[in-house]
């Protein structure tokens, strides 16, 4: 996952992109493979949850998303994890600038 996190006026804004095909049930059926898409994404800073997102097959392929939160400092590490329908998972981190 690619993560960019920037702090401005007490609010951290994060842009992230998860590399995932996000295969819908329809497409998977046509291709004769199993559907698979990211079902849950979390982000934590200092073990505190700052993003908790449940998602469906309708996020775009390689979904890009942006979110904001308060309470972090520059230099803190943000850790993001996604989980997909078939149990795959990936964890990435970045330092808040």
Partner 1 sequence: MERRKFLGFGIFAAAAALVPGTLSAEDYRKTKPDVWTAHTMEDAIAKMYGAKPLIEQGVTLTAPDVAANGGAVPVDFSSEIAAKSVAVFQSSNPEATVCAFTLNEYSVIDFSIKMKLKQSGTIIVVVEGKDGKLYAAKKSLNVALGGCEG
- Chain residues binding partner 1 by CB under 8 A are 11, 13, 21-22, 24-27, 39-40, 42, 44, 48-61, 63-72, 81, 83, 86-89
Phi, psi angles (nearest 5°) of residue 92: -135, 160
* DSSP line for 64-91: EEEEEEES--TT-EEEEEEEETTS-EEE
Q: How far is the CB of 30 from partner 1 (least distance, A)?
A: 8
Q: How far is the CB of 50 from partner 1 (least distance, A)?
A: 5
Q: How far is the CB of 56 from partner 1 (least distance, A)?
A: 5
């Amino acid at each position: 996952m690619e993560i960019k996190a920037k702090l401005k006026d007490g609010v951290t804004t994060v842009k992230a992109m998860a590399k995932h095909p996000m295969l819908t049930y329809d497409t998977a059926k046509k291709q004769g493979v199993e559907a698979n898409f990211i079902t849950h994404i979390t982000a934590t800073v200092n073990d505190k949850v700052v993003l908790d997102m449940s998602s469906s097959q309708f996020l775009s392929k390689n979904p890009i998303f942006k979110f904001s939160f308060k309470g972090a400092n520059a230099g803190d590490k943000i850790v993001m994890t996604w989980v997909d329908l078939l149990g795959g998972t990936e964890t990435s981190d970045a330092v808040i600038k």
